[in-house]
Structure formats: structure tokens, C-alpha cells
Amino acid sequence: MTIRFDLSEGSLRAQSHYRQVALDQMRPISRKYDLAEHALPREWVDYWWREGRFGAKGGAALANDGFVTICLQAEQLCWGDAGLYLRMPTPALGGSAVSAAGTKEQQAKFMAGFREVGGQPIWGAMAITEPHAGSDAAAIETTAEFDPATDEWILNGTKIFCTAGEGASTEPGGFVVVWATLDKAAGRAAIKSFVVPAGTPGMQLLGCEKKLGIRASDTATLRFENCRVPKDNLLGRAEVKKQEAAKAGEASSKDSSKDSSKDKGFKGAMATFDASRPIVAAMATGVGRAALEFLIEELARQGVVIRYDAPPRERTAIEKDVIEMEADLQAARLLTWRAAWMMNKGRPNNLEASMAKAKAGLAVTKITQKAVQILGPLGHSRKLLVEKWMRDAKINDIYEGTQQINQLIVARRILDYSSAVLR
């Protein structure tokens, strides 16, 4: 049996297109919006909405490799600038939650409405993290109470670190998918997702975080005070089954993508990460590649050429470092493509998605830090983007599940242990 890692012609075309977009549109303004945190990068937003998203022959390449091409796009654009990538107008983040937790009818209804609103850019966000609920999503305290008199759900609570939260909550056509509990006593089984359109009364933007890296992105804090949404904006069904609540700890440790029930509930919401983690891994690969490519080019300018054919015992410390960095980057990329390919095929990829995310998070952190170290004072200087890439890198090891959480998931899947057994 022959194992091939070749990309399709369509994906190669898309890869080349997005590399050019990153080079021409993102790199020139990368430092500008790193320094001007929270400023809307209007030139980038306008370009992406008008031209960038229709590249590679109108997205036809997506028909060939689907999710793999999405990951190729993420890597190339994050090679340009990870913060700007997160700021580009797209419903993808919130849309992935709709796809994972919504019924087929809801997917058709909501996703069709999110594509374009009056020709204006739109954003989609996902509101999960709370001041006291981070990696443990089951600890969510935001509540959802049904009002039978109006056929509406009433949301109350505060969400933090909402990527694209500013645009999604304030711009016309934007939307936020909010995780909330229907019954705190029922635990995980009562966690549901709700679609909240931008401008909904009771949803308030409190502000954006001042961050170490990805400063061009709008990482928002949102408050929900008696925020009312229609009954049908609950993704999935409202029932909280007793047996589901009793077995939630065990069920959530199994592969969420195997759940075929109509009421996906917490498992459906968690399945969102099976789609988003490979994308984050691809983002990390893009940042890591930016730093590694620059390092190799700078070393070559200084007369240091990596001798790949030299015996290991004869290589310099720098040569050994660079070769190890390249190996880590390639391993992360191949794990990412595998998880994405499994998504394309409709195969459970919970294990593979977490493996890709964990490996890429470690790799990008190590690669960017080592690049700064090898370059010395120049690496620390704002004259270069290397120090920015090091700052941008760390978040990839944190969001969409921390390094520790993803390693825990990998261990549970391999050993077939429940969350109650392996914590």
C-alpha cells in the first residue's frame, strides 16, 4: 500500500493564492496593527470581503479537498499575520458551532442567512469561556431560561476571550453562538448553544482584551443581561435527559463525532472543537513557518548554511536546532492534514484533532522562541517581525483547549478511559 501526501491541483492553486494574499496584503500592515491594538484594519477587511475570500477561482478548490484546503488557507494567511487572520470577516467560527450542534434544518436556516448581508462584511463568534470556566466547559454558569409566554430563551451571564466578539456582536449580520446551561444541577447534559444575532438587546460589548500577541484580533468580553432570543435559536433540542446527565462524564470522554442523535447537546457543542482544532494547528504551523523561514534566510545572509548531508556528530549546534525545528514543523503539519482529511471523509477525528493541536502548539512555541534566541539582539528588536511571531505563537498553545487538556484527551482516547477515570 502506497501512502501519499500530495495535495490536489485545486489545493495547490489555493495554497499559492493565499500565500500571495499574505505577502501582498498582510505582511505590509502586520506591524501597524500590532501596535494599533483594537483598531479596525479597514484596508484588510475591505480587501478580504471584496476579493480575498473569492480567490483561487472563487473557492472552487474547496470542492477538491474541502477541510484540508481550509487548513492550507489558515497556514498561509497566518504566515502573513495571525492577528489579521482572526480579524478577517467570516462567519466560520460561529458557523462551525452551528454545523456541529444544530439540526440539519437549523444549519440550512442559519448558515444561509450568515453568508452575506447587504454586501457588508460579517463576523461570527463563539462565546464559551467565562471568568470561572475556562478549559472545563462543563463549569459554565451562564444560564438560559425559557419563557413560554413569548417563546423565547433568556440568557444571563458573562463571556470572556471571545475571538471576533466585537465584530460579531456589533456589526450588521454578525452573530455570536453562546454556550449556556439550562439546569446547573444537570451538569454537562444541560449545556446548550444559542445563536444571538448582533445588536440583540441585552447583549453588551464590555470591551476588548489587551493581549501579548495576535493584537490585531478583537478578543472581546460580552455580557448578557436578560438577553432574549427566539425559541428556534437554540441549537439542537431543549430536552435534558436524566440518563444523559447521569452518564455525561463518561459520554463526553468518548468520540463526540460518533454521536448520531438528533439532540447532540453537550457532545454536539464539544464536537465544534473537532473542526476548529485542526484549523488552530494550521494557524500555528503558519506562524512557526514564518519564523523558521526568516531564520534560515538570515543565517544564509550571514554565511551560515545548514548542512543536511553532514553526519550528526559534525553538525553545529545551530544546524541541529534548525533541523529539529523543521522536523517539528513538518510533524505538526502532517498531523493537521490527517485530522482535516478525516473531517472531509466524515470520519471521527477527535483523537487526531487533539494530537494535531497539541503538537502544533508545542512546535510553534519552541520554534519562535528558538528563532529569537539564535538571532540574538536582532531577534528581540522591533526592527524585525520575529519577536512578534514569538508573541503571536503562545496563544496557539492555549485557545481551543490548552496543551494540557489536549494531551489529556489524547490519553483518554488511546487508553479508552472516561473523564471520570482519567482527570
At residue 160, the 3 state secondary structure works out as strand
CA angle 13, 15, 17 (to 5 degrees): 70
Q: Which three cell numbers stand for residue 150?
A: 413569548
178 bridge partner residues? 127, 194
Residue with cell string 493537521:
336
Q: Is the backbone of residue 57 left (phi > 0), alpha (psi -120 to 50) or beta? A: left
What's the rounded Cα separation, in Å, for the pair 322 and 373? 12
DSSP letter assigned to residue 314: G
- Number of Cβ within 10 Å of residue 379's Cβ equals 23
Q: Is the distance from CB of 18 to CB of 76 less than 8 angstroms?
A: yes
C-alpha dihedral over 394, 142, 275, 72, to 10 degrees? -40
What's the rounded Cα separation, in Å, for the pair 126 and 370? 33
Contacts of 83 (CB under 8 A, 6+ apart): 33, 34, 213, 214, 215, 216, 217, 392
Residue burial 73-105, b: 16+ Cβ < 10 Å; e: rest: bbbbbbbbbbbbbbbbbbbbbbbbbbbbbbbee
Catalytic residues: 400
Q: What are phi and psi of 90, to 5 degrees?
A: -160, 145
Long-range contacts of 309-315 (CB under 8 A, 24+ apart): none
Q: Is the distance from CB of 327 to CB of 367 less than 8 angstroms?
A: no
At residue 10, the 3 state secondary structure works out as helix
